[in-house]
């Protein structure tokens, strides 16, 4: 007899991110993931169209196609430098493989205590580097404090500990804030002075660029960034991130590393196609501006309702708010799903290319109703 369905429990464990949301049981048909993350949306229309358009005839596989070739050239134009460009399937792979390229197993990677590579990649950097250590720096609003960074460099100086080799910055940060260009160049100077390299986790680089209003080159290699990821998936591209090495020597044999890591797509044209769409007429920036603007609007709505400002400055597409347990409980019963990031009661709301004023109004209305109900009970 056929026995099906037994790993639904497993499936729940599988996507445990969601478990964090579900303080109350999810009621059928009502869950709304619009503000849970910027990866709950799908492809933006242009990206999907690009996939359809690329789906013609047979083309060379593994990146030897014209789409990939055009994309690499296009990225070099956008970044105004002769960089090396690679496509991978997701952000964890982008970060981990770039770091593996820059590190030996006995090296240390300095990052913020709440960096994505530390908290949300299940040890992918440690795995792909073969044992490198994340050395955690403090700093307000998700940005590494320069004094902290100096202190770490001073502390790790003998062979009984990992040797610091890479400074990893996240732009925009995990808290939806951004580094100002001079903050990055100051940190990069310290790093380079200590024979370290600077990596940028740019999963939301588009959102930072939209906020800062500067060209990609003025936000990266001109500040001392040596290598970076550039996030397309959350931006609406949906199926690929870029890894960019600003110096050619740093990219040496990286294509072998990708292949060995299971990150060389045989049908690369579809990854390149969505990225070509994003780079066409600055769609990546337009998508990011839209998401940022939605976060700003959401933040203002919530301030109006709760009379409280966001926990962190809203400088990209994320809003962190404080809510009482009772209010949160009511909002989730209304179907909305979002993460509790800090105890007690700090929650994250994210906007994306797919957010809309209508969604924000819907959500705000339910928050307002939850607060009212909470007060009355």
Q: In the bound complex, what is the minimum distance in angstroms from residue 272's beta carbon to a copy of itself?
A: 11
Q: In the bound complex, what is the minimum distance in angstroms from residue 375's beta carbon to a copy of itself?
A: 29
Cβ-based nearer residue to a copy of itself, 89 or 175: 89
How far is 191 from 204, CA to CA, in rounded Å? 23
In order of 39, 53, 58, 234, 284, the CA distances from 237 in angstroms are 11, 14, 22, 7, 8
**Site of tokens 């593996």:** 100
Cβ-based nearer residue to a copy of itself, 58 or 307: 58
Dig out the tokens for 185 from the structure. Answer: 């160049």
Q: In the bound complex, what is the minimum distance in angstroms from residue 325's beta carbon to a copy of itself?
A: 17
Q: In the bound complex, what is the minimum distance in angstroms from residue 285's beta carbon to a copy of itself?
A: 19
Q: In the bound complex, what is the minimum distance in angstroms from residue 239's beta carbon to a copy of itself?
A: 7
Cβ-based nearer residue to a copy of itself, 68 or 173: 68
Q: In the bound complex, what is the minimum distance in angstroms from residue 329's beta carbon to a copy of itself?
A: 19
Sort strands 163-170 and 197-201 into parallel, antiparallel or unpaired: parallel
In order of 189, 230, 242, the CA distances from 70 in angstroms are 33, 17, 14
Q: In the bound complex, what is the minimum distance in angstroms from residue 73's beta carbon to a copy of itself?
A: 5
**Gyration radius of the chain's alpha carbons:** 21
Contacts of 290 (CB under 8 A, 6+ apart): 353, 355
Cβ-based nearer residue to a copy of itself, 231 or 371: 231
Cβ-based nearer residue to a copy of itself, 31 or 305: 31
User: Which of 139, 196, 175 has its CA nearest to residue 318?
Assistant: 175
Cβ-based nearer residue to a copy of itself, 122 or 375: 122
Helix (H), strand (E) at residue 129: helix 124-129
Cβ-based nearer residue to a copy of itself, 101 or 211: 101
313 — phi, psi (to 5°)?
-55, 135
Cβ-based nearer residue to a copy of itself, 266 or 376: 266
Q: In the bound complex, what is the minimum distance in angstroms from residue 342's beta carbon to a copy of itself?
A: 11
- Largest Cα–Cα distance in the chain? 68
Beta bridge partners of 199: 168, 227
How far is 45 from 237, CA to CA, in rounded Å? 9
261 — phi, psi (to 5°)?
-90, 5
């Amino acid at each position: 007899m056929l026995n099906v369905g037994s790993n639904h429990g497993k499936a729940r464990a599988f996507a445990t991110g969601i478990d964090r949301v579900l303080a109350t049981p999810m009621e059928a048909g009502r869950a709304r993931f619009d503000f849970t993350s910027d990866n709950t949306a799908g492809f933006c229309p242009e990206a999907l169209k690009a996939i359809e358009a690329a789906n013609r005839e047979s083309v060379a596989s593994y990146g030897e196609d014209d789409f990939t070739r055009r994309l690499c050239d296009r990225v070099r134009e956008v970044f105004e430098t002769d960089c090396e460009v690679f496509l991978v399937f997701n952000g964890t792979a982008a970060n981990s493989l770039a770091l593996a390229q820059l590190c030996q197993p006995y090296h240390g990677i300095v990052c913020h205590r709440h960096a994505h590579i530390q908290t949300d990649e299940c040890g992918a950097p440690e795995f792909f580097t073969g044992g490198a250590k994340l050395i955690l720096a403090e700093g307000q609003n998700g940005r590494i404090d320069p004094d902290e960074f100096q202190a770490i460099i001073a502390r790790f100086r003998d062979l009984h500990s990992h040797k610091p080799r890479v400074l990893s910055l996240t732009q925009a940060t995990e808290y939806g804030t951004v580094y100002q260009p001079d903050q990055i160049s100051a940190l990069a100077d310290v790093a380079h002075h200590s024979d370290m390299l600077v990596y940028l986790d740019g999963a939301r680089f588009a959102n930072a660029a939209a906020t800062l209003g500067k060209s990609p080159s003025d936000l990266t290699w001109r500040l001392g960034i040596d290598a970076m990821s550039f996030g397309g998936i959350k931006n609406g591209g949906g199926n690929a991130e870029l890894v960019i090495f600003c110096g050619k020597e740093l990219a040496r044999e990286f294509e072998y590393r990708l292949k060995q890591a299971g990150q060389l797509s045989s049908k690369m044209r579809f990854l390149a196609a969505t990225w070509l769409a994003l780079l066409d007429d600055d769609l990546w920036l337009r998508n990011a501006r839209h998401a940022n603007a939605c976060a700003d609007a959401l933040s203002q709505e919530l301030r109006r309702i709760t009379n409280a400002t966001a926990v962190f400055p809203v400088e990209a597409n994320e809003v962190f708010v404080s809510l009482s347990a009772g209010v949160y409980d009511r909002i989730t019963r209304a179907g909305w799903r979002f993460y509790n990031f800090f105890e007690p009661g700090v929650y994250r709301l994210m906007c994306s290319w797919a957010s809309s004023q209508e969604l924000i109004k819907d959500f705000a209305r339910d928050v307002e109703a939850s607060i009212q109900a909470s007060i009355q009970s």
